[in-house]
Structure 1
Amino acid sequence: MTNIIAGLIGLALLLGYLGILVWSVNSLPFTLIAAVSVAILLYDFYLSALKRNGLNRR
């Protein structure tokens, strides 16, 4: 459970940091790169959270 909480805190901090960067840079290529990176990050966190809790259905 502590891994999930720590992961959520890390996700929140990274999303806040990238949000500030995307807002200040205001460039479409950078925004797309940040969005793809966040999507991959969220997917990995989702898989890791399920696997650690034994909820993996595959």
Structure 2
Amino acid sequence: MKQKQITSQTTAILYQEPTADEMRPSRKQMIWANLKEFTVFIIAPTAIALPFFTWLLSK
């Protein structure tokens, strides 16, 4: 019994580079990333330093 030949499903579209619009992050992703960075670099150090300075000033 012969089996049916399967044609390759690999096409040229699999190898296309993404367009500039596809590579650009969405506005929601940009806002979320900025909020996370703000939290890490502004709020977290303040939360660590504030108790230390209040402790220094209370002595």
TM range (shorter): 0.3 to 0.5
Normalized against structure 1, the TM-score is what? 0.38
Q: Please, what TM-score do these two structures have when normalized by structure 2?
A: 0.37
Q: Which has the higher helix share?
A: 1
Q: In terms of Rg, which structure is larger? A: 2
Relative contact order, CA 8 A, sep 6+: which one is greater? 1
